[in-house]
Every structure is written in structure tokens, then in C-alpha cells.
Structure 1
């Protein structure tokens, strides 16, 4: 979603109040925010997913691993005791974001069932009876690929421009900006975590200074779900080991993304099976393999799968030659 081209100054103020106390099932989060936070039009209110889950009755008892299957759409990667999964929300998180900290021993919290819906409910309640027009974020902690440590991200949002598109603009040197699109919802969530902390028992933060990102009353926007890459559009849909396993098993076609071009597939075939000729004719890729060809056919089949294509095999000349034809699949 594209926000306004200008912003109101270069100052961001973030405040997290003390004294909120323990949040329990059934508590009115909007009432707690009003009680402890000084709000004005254009503010962004960040609420940790932990207290949203507590208020919405998402606490469970027993072992965390027992709840993991129900929150998992598919496993992305496993390393020792760590399991990275894509949740049914579309988030990719360790242990599906199930949290066992700051709760009674033997208890864990599932993520809110509908984080964007939770954000909308709090925003509407805060705006009721002439309340201020604010945006609401539901935040959670996540790791990052290729980087150590965690930061908070937006798992739910309402009334906020969640990403600013700079496409079509130019920098100070006149260079066109083509793909620049800051995920401002995540940036605000990270800023909020700097003041809420992990042990400070401060579940709310108010961010002031970016009213240009706050949508008009009644417009909730696409929510944090707009920041999720759809299944198959992520370049790293599986961990490295898991991607090899899926290719060998021929499972999970969609997670490899859109089918590769004919040139990409042909180049891969030439690199991996260099003893054969590969022909490209329009949208068709063909190659012939002389007997014994079992290993080459198997290798070509795995490559076809990984590149989003399917392999058809026709035996010729009394089974002494295999004619391999490749066609694109539909993710």
C-alpha cells in the first residue's frame, strides 16, 4: 500500500507506560490502553501479541510441542530442537510463535487466531464515543534469516499504511527507485519493542510522529497480512536440507515458486547432465538419452521438479533411447 509522499517532520517519540499489570482472559485491551496511555489523533498504538493472546483465551497447558502441529501449515526447516514452520496465518516462525515465557509454568500461548482482526477490534473500541483516530499494531518477536538475534514485527495491523512504496520516485541524485518498499509496520514494531522490553511488563507502546501513516477513520487497510509473501513466491520456501529432500521425494511443488524459464531449465540440464544435447523450441525443452539412462532420467526428473516443470519419458529404438520432454507446471 502506498502512503503519502511527505511526512510530518523527522521526530518519532515512543512511550511505553508502566503499571499495566497482568492481563487475563476476557480483559478489555482497549480499556487498558485508554487507562494507561495518553492518545492523540495520528498515534500508532503497539500491543504485544502476548497480551492479545491472554485476553482472547489463547493460553494452553501441557507441552509446547503438543500444540505445534495444530498451528503448523507446513514445516520449513528443522535443526536439532528448533522447528521453523509456516503457520496457518502465513507467518514463518520458530515453533509457530508459541510462547512459554511470562506465563505460569506448564502454560504456553498460541498466537492470536486473527491478529489483523484483533487490531481492528482494538482500534474500533479506541475510536468509539469520539475517541482519537489511531492505528493499532499487534507485535511479536521473530528471528531473521542470515542474522543472529530477534526483533519485533507486526503480525496484525489496523488503520496503518504497512508498507511505503517508493516506486516511481527518484533519490537526491536522480536515480529511479524501483523496488524500495520499507515495511514501516515492522519498523514501528521494532521501535516499540525498544521501550516495551521483554521483562518490563509494559505490553503497550504509543508511537507519535508518523501521522501520515495513519489511515482515516473507518479505513483499516490491508493489515499486516499484506506483508506476507504468498506460498510459492518466497525464494527460500524451505531450508536447504528440506528443499533437497522435497525435490527427491517429489513433494510440495508449489513451494518452489513459479516455473523457471526454458533457458534456466536448459542451462541446469546441460550443467548437471553434460553428456546429452538439450534442445529448446519455444516453450518446450527436449533431450535424448542413450541407454543405460536410468540415472540420467532420474536426475532430469528431480531437476524438472525443482524448476517447476514436469518430465514425460518416451522410449524409442527398442528401449535403447529415452526421449525426455519437459513441460511447465502450474503452481
Structure 2
């Protein structure tokens, strides 16, 4: 290597001086792709010595790329939900880490759909190379239509054979069945489900819950429509208990709802878990800090984030891909 052979005005000049390919220099200076650590360090030192900085924006423009991935949260059914939701916060943290490792910036947007063209309109802006959507909400038809003509799109959510779009998500029916069997093992037979079954993921959890119960119990389960925000779900649970309902086992569609149920039960002197066993879904970090610590069905959110980004990158590379379901796990703590 002769690192003093002429000025360095372009990435080609730096590649010539370093004795490597232009693509190797690009990977070294953008931290994208696999590269030997020593090679990366040597090229970065050469660039610093010659005062060379890669114009990433210009490079992306030449390649027809933006260097950014959108993470969208469509709130068609729960318009009061916020990005501060514990599940969203955990998922976004893992996604940000994964995208950074791949050399992408993350563009985050909370979407309140006001028509059927919100996703197409966003994609037409050309601001990103691909889109990850967290939750289908009630937007399955929109996602299906867009997926027919836009490849780099991956959704975190429930899978169904008729969906045209690519999904990564937990086997929600299996998770609901885990919750039902656990409550049965605890001797609970007056059961309730708290959740909005208009949401595909929550509907699957409810279906799985019922499927694992004896046939004569299924029609006796209280279905309580609860929103996912802490305030709304607490209000619903409080009204439910004040009306005199006294189940001895509750399966909530999310940990946030489960923790709200526990708080509302305490206000009515209903002891958890002595009089009432409560099971949530997600295993957000707050679940183990609840009072009492929450029994829940764990989704492996870290693995989910990795799979979302990996499948999206494979889509961008025009590789074959298929939807993935992750097995749930029951985490038993003191609330049941």
C-alpha cells in the first residue's frame, strides 16, 4: 500500500491508495456490511489522514436509496394509544439497534388512518427504502393492497394464510391456550377475557384461550371490551368490578391491560392472587415490577425485531421470504 500517492478527492482515490475495492471502502466508512475489523480501522485512519469524508447522501442518491427505514404504528382501532406504550417502547428500542447494525436510520411515525391510501401516500414520498409496521390494527385490507405492488414491507402481527403481506409475530392462539391451561391448573373456573377482539392479534389470543377450555366453560367466559391504554383499561375494569362481577381468573390481551385490572381489583378489595388470578400477554419490562409481579405470556420481542429487519433486508435484496411465527412462553409470577 502506498498511502501517499496523490490527492484523495473521491472514494476511488482512497480505494486505490488503500489497495482495496471501492465497495470495501464504502463498507468501512458507512459501517454497512461485514468487514474485517483491522481493514475497517486501517481505511478509516487513511480517510482521516487525507481529510476524506464520504458523502453518504450523494452515494445513496446515485444508488436510488435513502439509507432510512420507516417504522409505522397505525392506530386505526386504538387512536388514543401513544408511543410511550411499554410494548411499543421495547419493540422500538430493539428495532433501532437492529437497523443501526445494518447501517440504516430509523424514521418513526404514529399514524391515525383517515382513509385507505395512507400507506401508499407515505411510500410515494420516497423518504425510505422500506417499511416496518408494528401491528395490523384494523388495516389488513390496506396492507394487503399495498403489499401487492410494494415489496420491502414487513408487518409485526398475527399471520393468516390469506394475507398477501409478510408478517413476523407470536403464535397468539398458542399463547391464549397457555393462559387458559394455567388458569385451569390453578383451579379457576369463573373466567373473563379483557381485550379488543377487533384487533387481529387480540382476537387470536381470545380464540386460543377459548379453545383450551372445556366445552361447557367456553360460553360462560365474560368478554370485556377493554382498550389498551392504562387509563381506558382501568376505567373498564373498575366499572366491571363495581357492577358486581367476580371472576376468579382473568386473561388480559396485554400486560398494560392486566396491570390495570389488578389496580382496579385492589380498589374493590379483591385480592390478587388469593381471590383472582390475572394473566397478561407480552412480558414488557414493567411486568416483573408490577404489584404483584405479573404472570404473562411472553413474546420474544428482541427476536421479533431481529426477524423484522432481517426479512426486510432480504426483501430489499429481492430474496425469497416467508412469514414467521414465534412460539410464546408462559412466565409464571405472583399474580396468578
- The TM tier, using the shorter chain, reads under 0.3
Give the TM-score normalised by the residue count of structure 1: 0.21
Q: Which has the higher strand share?
A: 1
Q: Which has the higher helix share?
A: 2
